[in-house]
Structure 1
Amino acid sequence: MKLITSPAKLMNVENTTGLLRSSTPKFIDDAAHIHKYLKEKTPKYLSDLMEISPKLADENWERNQKWNAKPTAKNSAPAMFAFTGEVYRGLDAKTLDKKAVDYLQKNYRILSGMYGLLKPSDKVMLYRLEMGRPFEFEDYKNLYSFWTEKVTEQLNSELKKNEIVLNLASNEYFKVIDKKKLNHQVIDFDFHELKDGKPKTIVVYTKHARGLVVRFCAETNAKTLNDVKAFNYEGYRIDEEKSTDTNLVFVR
């Protein structure tokens, strides 16, 4: 199976690991192509594009000036360790053992507006380029038009017959995959919190839970959908009544 998540806005390239040999992203040439246009954009453009403060826009403009397709070990980190948002707090990769990290290197992929599709070991630099933002360059109206075919084909090439795809990404990011051309079953997830006996979806908890599922699969060497259904970290349990063949619902 392949587990898919979104990246995170928060990053720290000081995080590293001795459990992975660093690698170059599959689509690094495409990332460099995107960067050529991104580097030219002003802080004001970045602020408007990503709806961020002038301070954050300045910070990301500086990142864009420093970005390099062949980064040093000092200014890059393996993707699984570089992202530090809520999903990655749930995953908590730095506390995984070698066996779990090896599992994720084989089975886990991260979608990215800049890099397309990343393995855990792929070196990334600090950047911010969200998939859903209307970043236009050349004849591309947005990043979906640039990445969809490439990412979908790459996933198809990595998946073996009858392997399933666990969609633990946001709608914004998973939309880059053309499900009609992905020759594999996709399993979606919902995470609910019981409040006064009623299930509620709370975004920050959902993000955290997605990372917990990735961690659970790595630590238990999950191979089948039934293995995934056993997910029980931090009080979550599967709701068999609400779950379907293609959507697993977990409640706590």
Structure 2
Amino acid sequence: MLVLLPPSETKRDGGDGPPLQLDSLSFPSLTPLREALIDEVVALAADVPASRRALKIAATLDGEIERNAALRTAPTLPAIHRYTGVLYDALDFGSLKGAAAERARSRLAVGSALFGLVRADDAVPAYRLSAGSSLPSGGTLAARWQPLLEPELRRLAAEELIVDLRSGSYVSLGRLPDAVRVDVVNEAADGKRTVVSHFNKSHKGRLARVLAGTKAELTDAAGVTTIARRAGFQVERRGNDLTIVLSS
């Protein structure tokens, strides 16, 4: 089983790994576009106003542009430690121990606008590039990633179950219709349901932790539903679409 996580806009600083080595990353079929995007992002960082426009950030975040300028020389961290925020706090990878941590390392992967897809232990630098960024070379990142990322995802799906927890903009970089998908909704006392926004990330992080660490070898959506329910989630399933229901 492979659990696909969204990245986060926020990244942990620094690292104790050597500078980025693209040939050491998983999924080598993605290397040509990774190389091209890094070249573009590093070159773009020399023009701060243009970088702000492309990355859709304010001047208060110019430190992110400095990160991009140093992409090839900055220290690295394993991807699972580089990304931060609500989902990663709930996942709490660092507290997994022993066999559960090893299972999580093999099962977790992160979608990325810069790298396409990386596994938990892939060493990456801090950077700023989101699925909605608009690089000067033109075209959307989705249009550039899909021809490479979608075949890679289909190859993976032929070998193991994929649970896709990515957000919509990152799903667009590489679509996989047969993946198990998860939504989070809130159900009011009158039965009315609304899509959860902030807590969506928290609950997906908790689910990712359960799936990553379980001893069970899951092969279908029914198995994912069973494990989630055992962990205390209220889950409804329709085919490969799972809905986590929260009660208000």
- With normalisation by structure 2, the TM-score equals 0.83
Q: 1:32 corresponds to which letter in structure 2?
A: E
Instruction: Encode CA deviations 1:81-113: one digit per residue, 9 max, x unaligned.
Output: 110022111211111123223223332221101
**Aligned-partner SS, 1:121:** coil
How many residue pairs get aligned? The number is: 232
1:156 to 151, 154, 157: 154
Rounded to whole Å, the distance in 1 between the matches of 2:213 and 2:60 is: 40
- Residues 98/149 of structure 1: CA separation in 2 closer, same or farther (3 Å cut): farther
1:221 to 215, 221, 226: 215
Matched, 1:79 2:86: no
2:58 to 46, 53, 58: 53
Matched, 1:32 2:35: yes
Matched, 1:64 2:58: no
**2:98 counterpart residue number:** 98
**Aligned-partner SS, 2:43:** coil
2:181 to 169, 188, 200: 188
Rounded to whole Å, the distance in 1 between the matches of 2:85 and 2:31 is: 23
Structure 2 unmatched ranges of 5 or more: 18-23
Do the aligned partners of 1:13 and 1:76 also contact (CA within 8 Å) in 2? no
More helix by percentage:
2
* Distance apart, 1:136 and its partner CA: 4.0
* Distance apart, 1:15 and its partner CA: 6.8
- Residues 220/188 of structure 1: CA separation in 2 closer, same or farther (3 Å cut): same
Matched, 1:127 2:123: no
* Distance apart, 1:187 and its partner CA: 1.7
Q: 1:76 corresponds to which letter in structure 2?
A: T
Instruction: Encode CA deviations 1:29-61: one digit per residue, 9 max, x unaligned.
Output: 5323212111222221222223321120x2122
* Distance apart, 1:236 and its partner CA: 2.8
Rounded to whole Å, the distance in 2 between the matches of 1:160 and 1:186 is: 11
Structure 1 unmatched ranges of 5 or more: 18-22
* Distance apart, 1:145 and its partner CA: 2.0
Do the aligned partners of 2:3 and 2:212 also contact (CA within 8 Å) in 1? no
* Distance apart, 1:234 and its partner CA: 8.3
Rounded to whole Å, the distance in 2 between the matches of 1:40 and 1:92 is: 35
Rounded to whole Å, the distance in 2 between the matches of 1:67 and 1:15 is: 13
The alignment yields a C-alpha RMSD, in angstroms, of: 2.5
